[in-house]
Amino acid sequence: SVDVKGDCAKKLWDQQKKGVDYNVYSRVDPEVKNHGELRVGYVYSKELIDACNDLPRIAGRAGVVHSLIETLGLLADVITISPRKGKEEEIQRFHSTDFIEFLHRINSVSDEEKVNTEEAELYGLSYDCPVQEGIYDCAALVAGATLTAAEALCEGICDVAINWCGGWHHAQRSSASGFCYINDIVLGILKLRETFSRIVYVDLDLHHGDGVEDAFSTTPHVLTLSLHKYSPGFFPGTGAASDVGLRRGKFYSVNIPLMDGIRDAQYYAVFKRVMSSVCTVYQPQAIVCQCGADGLAGDPMGAFNLTEVSYSDCLHHILDLKLPTLVLGGGGYSYSNTARCWAHLTAVAVGRKLPQEVPDHRYYMDYSPDFEMNIQAGNRPDLNKDEELMDICSRVAGDSELLSHLLKNDAVHMVS
């Protein structure tokens, strides 16, 4: 296929209009909103994909995602960056020594029986987070990939850095949770904090980004914003609208609890309203966005009714801020829908238009019966009420007023 770059897009497009058709999978349509030629770093290696392919519960997903992105020709528009492994002392910047030591120990155990159970329970290893051979090695690779992406942003190598193998937002300082073992997001944000003083973390996953919020709940230097399903008994159970952060971090944790069935238009309207007021007041210097795809229609989680459209609109909105942006994966249990969504988000970042049809490739059959690149919104009943959502938004906007009051009086904290 023709190696299409932004600059020759116009010529190619004109030729295509004249009927000269190149064998390109995706047409570069100048009308597609292009973020002025953002430099997009894409962190991956065969080793990273192979390691993530062995993760419990999402076995094989990393390969499906990367293969679709590669087949669509998107690697021609990114700067591919090979990840390093996270070093132990880096991982200790967040996680406790005893927890890391425990992960090391179970890393080499082959059969679970040898692991003493109450210790495993203490560290969150249970059904949700099975003891898995090589789990430390894999989690350290994933953390290293997110650190590599964050470093690329700090060094100005790229404007956007993507790691679809990252985004493990539940891991706590001394325990695994929601089968997240090492919190690569917290480590990535700590790396960005070496360069930036005010960072906004956005969590689009179906589940509340509790591990990241907890890590930064008492500091104003990281503002966490999470939109998630919030209902009795639904994991992790935190993230109520009243959860606004603690002490010096009060009002710097923002939570938007949602009900089942929410659809693209409403979801993006809420996101845009909250993100706009937060960013106007807080004036972030960098953005981290966790794009967990388990909110998509057709996900086995069976909760929200989103498609790639609302995820793309949210990322467009974030990229329009023209700030260094770290883009990460997360949940997503329909592999084909997760791959469709993250391929669209990669295309948004590089300003490419994607074809209607999934191109033929190794995992083509996973996309049956439609073999289309778009995700169909389901028709699950939407339990969200417009007035309730607008009420939450105005309350957050109200808190933003409070936040602006704090910022004025708290100049010491917000030294740029």
Ligand X SMILES: O=C(CCc1ccccc1NC(=O)c1cccc(C(F)(F)F)c1)NO
- Cα gap 391→145, rounded to integer Å: 39
Q: How far is the CB of 97 from ligand X (least distance, A)?
A: 25
Angle at 201 between CA 183 and CA 166, to 5 degrees: 35
Here the tokens at position 262 are 């929410």
Residue in 292, 295, 329, 351 binding ligand X, rule: CB under 6 A: 292
Count of residues interacting with Zn ion (CB under 5 A): 6
Residues 207-266 that bind ligand X (CB under 6 A): 207, 235
Q: Is 331 in the site for Zn ion (CB under 5 A)?
A: yes
Q: How far is the CB of 207 from ligand X (least distance, A)?
A: 4
In this chain, which of 35, 61, 95, 207 binds Zn ion, going by CB under 5 A?
207
Among 151, 294, 308, 399, binds Zn ion (CB under 5 A): 294
Euclidean distance between CA atoms 40 and 380, whole angstroms: 36
Q: Would you give the end-to-end CA distance of the chain in angstroms?
A: 46
For 324, the 3-state DSSP assignment is coil
Sheet holding 160-163, edge to edge: 79-81, 40-43, 160-163, 325-328, 286-290, 199-203, 222-229, 253-258
Task: Verify binding: residue 398, ligand X, rule CB under 6 A.
Answer: no
Min CB(300)–Zn ion separation in Å: 11
Structure tokens at 206: 């179906």
Cβ proximity to Zn ion: between 196 and 333 the closer is 333
Nearest to 47 by CA among 130, 142, 166, 136: 142
178 lies in the binding site for ligand X (CB under 6 A): yes
Please report how close the Cβ of residue 99 comes to ligand X at its closest, in angstroms: 18
Minimum separation from the CB atom of position 236 to ligand X (A): 7
- Is 312:320 a contact under the CB 8 Å cutoff? no
Q: Please, which of residues 306-345 interact with ligand X by CB under 6 A?
A: 330-331, 333
The C-alpha atoms of residue 188 and residue 243 are separated, in whole angstroms, by 23
Q: Which of 66, 169, 170, 208 is catalytic?
A: 170
Residues 40-79 that bind ligand X (CB under 6 A): 57
170 belongs to the catalytic site: yes
Encoded one letter per residue, x for contact with ligand X by CB under 6 A and - for no contact, window 101-120 reads --------------------
Q: Can you say whether the dihedral through the CA atoms of 62, 63, 69, 73 is positive or negative?
A: positive
Q: Which does 333 bind (CB under 5 to 8 A by kind): ligand X, Zn ion, none?
A: ligand X
Is residue 201 close enough to count as binding ligand X by CB under 6 A?
A: no
272 with 280: CB under 8 angstroms?
Answer: no
Q: Closest CB to ligand X belongs to which residue?
A: 331
Listed in order, strand segments (DSSP E) in 166-324 are: 199-203, 222-229, 253-258, 286-290
Q: From the CB of 51, what's the least distance to ligand X, in Å?
A: 18
**Residues labelled catalytic:** 170
Residues lying near Zn ion in the complex (CB under 5 A): 205-207, 292, 294, 331
Tell me which residues touch ligand X (CB under 6 A): 57, 128, 170, 178-179, 205, 207, 235, 292, 294, 300-301, 330-331, 333
